[in-house]
Amino acid sequence: MATYFHISDLHFGAEDRAALDWLAADVAREAPDGVICTGDLTMRGTVREFDAAADYLAALPAPVSIEPGNHDMPYYWELLTRLRQPFTRFGAMRARAHRDVPGVTLASLPTVAPAQWRINWSKGCVTPHALAEALRQLAGAQGLKLVACHHPLVDADTRGTGSTRGGHRALAMLAAAGANAVLSGHVHDPFDRMVETAGGPIRMIGAGTLSERTRVSAASYNRLEWSAQDGLQVAVRVRE
């Protein structure tokens, strides 16, 4: 049996310190095989926020996999930096805190962009290159196969939305490639749903937030258990 914690939307700069301490205590007590973080480590993408996120994640006593979120780029008032070097600060943070999670094929599917041809740049998009790279990572894999991204590829029944362009096509191709589930965040409320696609059924699992920016649910994370016999089991852990 392998155990993973799926976290998202820590939003350093608007973090919930009590929730972060609660998660760290659970990691220390249960020693999961890894922690999978699906983006929005920061609130405004500042150096100070990234340093705080790196310090926290690097101190967790488990390997941590990290994806970027739409808040993990320089904010709009740093537009030139955002357009020219959108992921430099994120990359420096990831280099400090990321360690490969064992026992799972974890395909990365970035769904964020520094600019888009629509007013709301916070929404998701899947580029052909990003999808091709995720499919390459899944090819020939055995055992548990997960895809990690920030935005839900299709909207779940949550107050927030991902409105991810290219998401339906991506979900179908990931299903056809044999992915067990797509992990995401962004909407700040947990969800777990099976989606029928042209490529077959595939599970979408969303983690809540560990920040002060809660919506419907309190601060939470997902506990994933995997075995070849029982498949993938998910429990939402909510901080009361």
* Predicted confidence (pLDDT) per residue in 47-73, tens digit: 999 999 999 999 999 999 999 999 999
Nearest to 40 by CA among 207, 172, 240: 207
Tell me what the mean pLDDT of segment 80-106 comes to: 96
**Domain span including residue 7:** 2-238
Q: What is the pLDDT of residue 240?
A: 79
Determine how β-strand 181-184 pairs with β-strand 200-206: parallel
What's the gap between Cα 34 and its chain centre? 13
The total domain count for the chain is 1
- CB of 174 within 8 A of CB of 201? no
Q: What is the pLDDT of residue 234?
A: 98
- CB of 194 within 8 A of CB of 217? no
Q: What is the pLDDT of residue 157?
A: 87
pTM greater than the 0.85 cutoff: yes
Nearest to 32 by CA among 64, 65, 3: 3
Residues 6+ apart with CB under 8 A from 180: 144, 145, 146, 202, 203, 231, 232
Residues 6+ apart with CB under 8 A from 65: 34, 35, 36, 37, 98, 99, 100, 101, 106, 148
* Predicted confidence (pLDDT) per residue in 142-197, tens digit: 999 999 999 999 999 899 999 999 999 999 999 999 999 999 999 999 999 999 99
Q: What is the pLDDT of residue 76?
A: 85
Instruction: Look at residue 220 and tell me whether its pLDDT is greater than 90.
Output: yes
Tokens of 234: 């998910």
* Predicted confidence (pLDDT) per residue in 11-52, tens digit: 999 999 999 999 999 999 999 999 999 999 999 999 999 999
Distance of alpha carbon 5 from alpha carbon 23, whole angstroms: 9
Q: What is the pLDDT of residue 182?
A: 98
* Predicted confidence (pLDDT) per residue in 199-214, tens digit: 999 999 999 999 999 9
The CATH code of the domain that includes 215 is: 3.60.21.10
Determine how β-strand 220-227 pairs with β-strand 231-238: antiparallel
Q: What is the pLDDT of residue 184?
A: 98
Q: What is the pLDDT of residue 70?
A: 98
Q: What is the mean pLDDT of the chain?
A: 97
